[in-house]
Structure 1
Amino acid sequence: MTGTLPGLGWSVTEPAGMHHLVSLAQGPQRDSLGRDGQLYIEESSDVCQQARSITAWQQLYDQLKPGQFQGSLAETWLDGIQCFEEHTSHALRQSCMVWPGSVWVGIPASSEHFARIGTTTIEADTVAIRGGGLEFELGTPDNFQIMGLVLARSELESYTSILQGESLHLDNTMVLHVGAERMRKFTHFMRAMLQVAGNGSGQLLEQVCRKQLRHELLEGFIDLIDDARPNRQNIRRVESAWQAVAKTREFVLDRSGEPTSIVELCEYLGMSRRTLQNIFHQTLDICPLAYLKAIRLNAVRRELLAPYSQYDSVQQAAAALGFWHMSQFSQDFKKLFGELPSASLARRSIVSAISNRSL
C-alpha cells in the first residue's frame, strides 16, 4: 500500500519557519499517526517540496548547484519508530530538526561521495546520530541516498540497558564507524522492511508482525553500533572552515533586507578575501559570491512558494533579497531551479493545499 505523506512537523503558520527552524514543543504521539505498517512514497521535482515530505520533522533545504532537482522519499512507521530512505539529485545544505525526546540515526546508502553533519564527515561505513529537538546541519552531495531511523530515546536506552547491561551513552551529535559489513547487513534489512511495507501483502498491518519487526529492528541497530568507534575527524582547521560557511548563511538571512558584500562578510568573519575564497572552494567547490547568490535565490523560492509570505509578486520577493536586475534574476533562478520564478509563484496554491493537509 502506498500513498502521499505530508510533513506534519513543518511549520506552516509561522513566518519564522520560512528561512529558520523554530523549536518543536512536542513530537507525534505513538499511536496518533494512523500510518503504521504502510509505505508512503513522495516523489518531488522541487527542493522545497522535498524538505517538507518527511513526517514530523522541520527541514529547510538550500540547493547549491544548478539544474532540475529530483527527489524521493519512502517512509513507514512501526508503532512510533519512523523508517525511511531518501534520495536527492543535487548537492544540498540542510537545516534539520526531529521531534523532542527522539534519536535520529542517519545511514548513508551512497558510497561514492560523503555527506557531513555539522563539521564531521559521514563516510560510507559510518552512521550519524542526533538527538531530537535540536537543529543540526547536513551537507549532502549530488545523487545522494540516506536511510533514516527515528525512535524514542528512552526506548533505545532501555533496550541497550537490558541487552548490554548498561545504558547507551549518546552525545547530542555522534558519528560512529560501524564497519562495511555491518552497514551492508543493516541497510539490506531496512530495505527489505520498506519493500514488505509497500508490496501490498498487508503483513505489516498486523500488530503482531509490527511488534516482531520492531524487536528485530532495535536489536539489529544495537548490533550495528556495538563496539563502534567515534569518528575523530574534527580537525580544528576543518571545523572552523565549516563554521565560517554556516555563519555566512545566517549573516545573509538575518540581514535579508540589506545587501551583503564580500567586504562586509570578510569583516564579519574576521578573515581576508583570499582565505574566504579558499574556504568555500575547499568545502563546497564554489566561490563565496556563488554561495551568497544561491542562498538568496533559495530564500526567494521559499517566499514565492510559502502561503504565508508577505510578498504577492515575484518582483517584491526578489527585491526583498536584493535582486535589482529582474531579467538577470529570472535567468539565475531558472538556471538553479529549472523553472522561472513566475512558475514557482503559480504553484503557491498547491503548496498551501499540501501544507493544510499536514496540520
Structure 2
Amino acid sequence: MTDPNATSRLCVHARDPQEQASSFGLLHQSYEQLSTGAFSGTLLAISANDITVFRETLDQSVFQTGVSDTEHITIAAACELSERAYWNGRHIDKDSVVAFTPGREFELRTPTHSVCVGISLEPSLLQSLSPERPPDYWQKLFTNHDCWSETGRLKFDLQARITQLLQQTGATGAPGDCAADLLDLRELAIDYLCSVVERGQAGGQKLRIDSYPRIARRARAAMLDRLGEPLSVTDLCNELGCSRRSLQYAFESIYDLGPVAYLRTLRLAAARRQLTSEKPGITVQEVAAAVGFNHLPRFAQEYARMFGERPSESLAAHRAHRFS
C-alpha cells in the first residue's frame, strides 16, 4: 500500500524554456520565449499522494500552451508580475487567481518577470464541500469560471504558507519532514476554494474584442504550419478573413508582440528545438533553412539576440551534454 505521508521534491533551474515547461508533470505544456535574452527559470515543488505545491520563477516573457492533468485541479496566483499577464482571453494582474481545469487546454502569457505559487489537488477532495453534487461538478465549475480576483486574507495566507514551506525545504531539504504541513495546506486550499465558490467571483479584464483570442489562435496555427515558408501579414489576413488592424491588435493583446515579431519568435524557437535535438550531424545552416532563414548571418544574429547565445553554442553545448 502506498504511504499517504510519502513526499517527493522537485527542484529545477532551467536555461531553456522547454526544459522548464516539461519539468512539471501536472501541466502538459509547451513554453515559447517571447522576450529577448538568455532564459532563466526555476521551479520548486513538493508532492504527497493527493497534493502538490509549487513556486515558479520566470525571467523572460513566455507564452504557455497546454492541457491540465486530468486527475488534478491546479490553482495558481502571482507573487510578482512586472506587467499584466494574459490568461484564456483575459488580461490578469497580481490580484488574479487562475484555475487549470482537469483535461482542459489553456493559454498563458507571462511578462518578463514573474513569480507564482500554486497548489494541485485531486477533484475528489472537493466532494466533501458539496456531497450532493455530481462528481464532475467541480470540473464544470472551474471550466466556466477559471479566473477570479482575490484580495482577501485567505488567499495571501495560502500563498505565504506555500512559499514558507518551499523555502524551509531548501535545495537540500528533506521532503519527508513536511508531510504534516502539506496536509494542513490541503485543508487551507479546500477552505479557500469553498470561499471562492460561495462568493461566485470572476475576475480579469476581458479583451475589448472577444474575437481576438480566436484570431490569434488561428493565425498561430497557420504560422506553425508554414514555419519554413515565406508568410506575410497580408497572407495571414487573406487566409483568416480579417483586417490588418484586427490581426495586429489581437497579437498585441495576447502575445504583447506584433504578428511579424511573433512569427520570428516561433521560427527561432523551432530552430532552438532542432539544435538541441538528438538528430546526429545536424548543422546550423540546415536548421536556419528549415525555419525560413535563408541568410545565415542574419539568423545567427537574431538567434543570439533572442536566446543570449549563438546557434553554434547551443549546438555545441547540447552535444557536450550528451557525451558527458
TM normalised by structure 1 equals 0.77
- Given that 2:9 and 2:175 are in contact with CA atoms closer than 8 Å, whether structure 1 keeps it comes out as no
* CA drift at 1:331: 0.4
Q: Report the Cα distance in structure 1 between the residues aligned to 2:2 and 2:83, rounded to whole angstroms.
A: 37
Deviates more, 1:118-127 or 1:141-150: 118-127
- Given that 1:36 and 1:205 are in contact with CA atoms closer than 8 Å, whether structure 2 keeps it comes out as no
2:251 matches 1:320: no
Q: What letter matches 2:157 in structure 1?
A: K
Q: 1:79 aligns with which of 49, 55, 59?
A: 49
* CA drift at 1:148: 1.9
SS of 2:98 mapped into structure 1? strand
Equivalent residue number for residue 95 of structure 1? 65
1:163–1:209 distance in 2 versus 1, CA, 3 Å? farther
Q: 2:225 aligns with which of 254, 263, 268?
A: 254
Equivalent residue number for residue 277 of structure 2? 306
Q: 1:40 aligns with which of 2, 5, 10?
A: 10
Q: Report the Cα distance in structure 2 between the residues aligned to 1:200 and 1:35, rounded to whole angstroms.
A: 19
Q: 2:148 aligns with which of 153, 176, 195?
A: 176
* CA drift at 1:123: 2.5
Equivalent residue number for residue 196 of structure 1? 168
Would you say how many aligned residue pairs link Structure 1 and Structure 2? 321
Deviations along 1:193-228, whole A, 9 cap, x unmatched?
A: 222333867474475554444334433443465424
- Given that 2:27 and 2:68 are in contact with CA atoms closer than 8 Å, whether structure 1 keeps it comes out as yes
2:152 matches 1:187: no
- Given that 2:87 and 2:109 are in contact with CA atoms closer than 8 Å, whether structure 1 keeps it comes out as yes
SS of 2:230 mapped into structure 1? coil
SS of 1:68 mapped into structure 2? coil
Q: Report the Cα distance in structure 1 between the residues aligned to 2:15 and 2:171, rounded to whole angstroms.
A: 25
* Map 1:287-306 → 2, pairs under 5 A: 287-306=258-277
SS of 1:239 mapped into structure 2? coil
Q: Report the Cα distance in structure 2 between the residues aligned to 1:56 and 1:64, rounded to whole angstroms.
A: 23
Equivalent residue number for residue 159 of structure 1? 128
Deviates more, 1:47-56 or 1:79-88: 47-56
Q: Report the Cα distance in structure 1 between the residues aligned to 2:34 and 2:178, rounded to whole angstroms.
A: 43
SS of 1:41 mapped into structure 2? strand
* CA drift at 1:286: 3.0
2:83 matches 1:113: yes
SS of 1:110 mapped into structure 2? strand
2:184 matches 1:218: no
* CA drift at 1:257: 4.3
Equivalent residue number for residue 229 of structure 1? 201
1:154–1:98 distance in 2 versus 1, CA, 3 Å? same
Q: Report the Cα distance in structure 2 between the residues aligned to 1:71 and 1:223, rounded to whole angstroms.
A: 32
Q: CA RMSD in A?
A: 3.3
Q: What letter matches 2:151 in structure 1?
A: G
2:241 matches 1:286: no
Equivalent residue number for residue 149 of structure 1? 119
* CA drift at 1:63: 1.0
* CA drift at 1:38: 4.6
Deviations along 1:79-124, whole A, 9 cap, x unmatched?
A: 2211101111111111122321321212121255222221122332
* CA drift at 1:291: 1.2
* CA drift at 1:185: 2.0
Q: Report the Cα distance in structure 1 between the residues aligned to 2:2 and 2:308, rounded to whole angstroms.
A: 40
Deviates more, 1:111-120 or 1:279-288: 279-288
Deviates more, 1:279-288 or 1:170-179: 279-288
Q: Report the Cα distance in structure 2 between the residues aligned to 1:352 and 1:159, rounded to whole angstroms.
A: 49
1:349–1:225 distance in 2 versus 1, CA, 3 Å? farther
* CA drift at 1:163: 12
Equivalent residue number for residue 244 of structure 1? 215
- Given that 2:82 and 2:114 are in contact with CA atoms closer than 8 Å, whether structure 1 keeps it comes out as no
Q: What letter matches 2:269 in structure 1?
A: N
1:238–1:106 distance in 2 versus 1, CA, 3 Å? farther
Q: What letter matches 2:102 in structure 1?
A: G
Q: Report the Cα distance in structure 2 between the residues aligned to 1:350 and 1:221, rounded to whole angstroms.
A: 47
SS of 1:329 mapped into structure 2? helix
Work out the percentage of aligned pairs sharing the same amino acid.
28
- Structure 2: tracts of 5 or more residues without a match: none
- Structure 1: tracts of 5 or more residues without a match: 1-29, 354-359
- Given that 2:95 and 2:150 are in contact with CA atoms closer than 8 Å, whether structure 1 keeps it comes out as yes
Q: Report the Cα distance in structure 1 between the residues aligned to 2:233 and 2:54, rounded to whole angstroms.
A: 40
SS of 2:257 mapped into structure 1? coil
1:102–1:350 distance in 2 versus 1, CA, 3 Å? farther
Equivalent residue number for residue 60 of structure 1? 30
Q: 2:241 aligns with which of 254, 263, 270?
A: 270
